[in-house]
Amino acid sequence: MTELKLENIQKFLSAAFHSRIRVLEAGKIGSLDEQGMKDFGYGKPLQVSYTENGEEKHAVLSRMRGDSFGHQYYWDRAAVLMFQYETGKKIDRHVRPLALGYMDGQGRLIPVKDPREFFIVQEKVDGYDYFKDLERIRKGDFRPGDEDTARNFARWLAGLHSRKKEADDLYRRRIRQLIGDSECIWGIIDNYPHPYEYFSRERCMRLEKKLIDWRWKLREYSHRLSAVHGDFHPWNVLIRSADDFSVLDCSRGEWGEPGDDLSTMTCNYLLYSLYDSPRLDGAFERLYTAMWEEYLEATGDREVLEVIAPFYVFRALVIASPVWYPNHPGEIREGLFRFTENVLEESSFDYGHINRYME
């Protein structure tokens, strides 16, 4: 971590307290050998002695260090500290939180005052949502450039996924999130109505039990850790032409499994096809095949077929969800649920015969 300077601590406290602060000294308190049986800690705090309007006071400044317990990214650590700041004010006998802030790249401490919601400002780019192309194709207007778009998506993913990283804990985290995170499989299932006419409690339980086996299988594939988008679907792509597009809203961290991105887009080709057929068919099968073939040719990564099944389950559950997609006819959901169950039955995904999983 960047070294904390007394002058930066003084500027921070002055801005946070809206008062005249003079820092006298700052030193570490606590160490691993003072924690008895506890050999692991999330960071070493500093005791800060200062004067406020001439009165001497003391405070403790704490940071977190990154670790493999879900704190690899700075925004993970920020969430923990924000929770402590908010909750510490409400619990009887808890030490009182005085200020919340962040450290910038130059080691300056910046206060955050009374946070309630955060926001982001991003550039505005031209283009239209890719799902509009899929709506057009479903109406019968399939154009030669549509296959080019799917192939360009595949080449873009191939380039993105070519960035690799050795970090077993990050790959395992991504698989853990896939199975159990609130935004992923367990969370999606919990937000279905129960009982649900199209997917019973018993079917949910069988699916979840199979996914536990897949979780342990995928632990052995951590060498595949790659840069990923994490939410590459038709509502997160802005199209200007077949080879000119922008992507939106990357999520769940920079690193993960390439099969995540590949399954996300290709599963939507299945969704649109199901509106007119009980299987992947016609123009949407051409888009699906073009994307798969281009990706495999560009990467040579046939190992992705061994790991992609649970990612397809996640995406199929999302697009079958009555919360996210309330207007699907029942047969659409039934088709997607059959797919989620069947795709887990084989150790390797047979992308060339996807309709076997629709039976």
Q: 299-326, pLDDT tens digit by residue? A: 999 999 999 999 999 999 999 999 999 9
> Would the pLDDT of 33 be above 80?
no
- Averaged over 46-56, what is the pLDDT? 91
Question: Which residue's entry shows tokens 């699907």?
Answer: 328
> Would the pLDDT of 1 be above 70?
no
Burial class (CB in 10 A: 0-12, 13-18, 19+), 58: exposed
Winning range, highest mean pLDDT, from 182-186, 246-250, 267-271: 267-271
Q: What is the chain's mean pLDDT, rounded? A: 91
What's residue 67's pLDDT?
84
- Averaged over 12-41, what is the pLDDT? 71
What's residue 40's pLDDT?
42
What's residue 31's pLDDT?
44
What's residue 222's pLDDT?
98
pLDDT confidence bin for 69, thresholds 50/70/90: confident
Lowest mean pLDDT segment, chosen from 27-36, 247-256, 269-278, 332-341: 27-36
pTM over 0.85: yes
- Averaged over 65-80, what is the pLDDT? 85
> Would the pLDDT of 25 be above 80?
yes
pLDDT confidence bin for 350, thresholds 50/70/90: very high
Pairwise pLDDT comparison (120 vs 129), residue with the higher score: 129
What's residue 39's pLDDT?
43
Other C-beta atoms lying within 10 Å of the C-beta of residue 123: 5
Task: List for the chain the helix, strand, coil content (%; round to 5).
Answer: 50, 15, 40
DSSP for 204-259, written as a single string: HHHHHHHHHHHHHHHGGGGGG-EE--S--SGGGEEEEETTEEEE----S-SEE-HH
What's residue 247's pLDDT?
95
Question: Which residue's entry shows tokens 């700052």?
Answer: 26
pLDDT in tens, 156-211: 999 999 999 999 999 999 999 999 999 999 999 999 999 999 999 999 999 999 99
> Would the pLDDT of 41 be above 50?
no
What's residue 119's pLDDT?
73
- Averaged over 63-88, what is the pLDDT? 86
For 86-96, give one letter per residue: b (16+ CB within 10 A) or e. eeeeeeeeeee
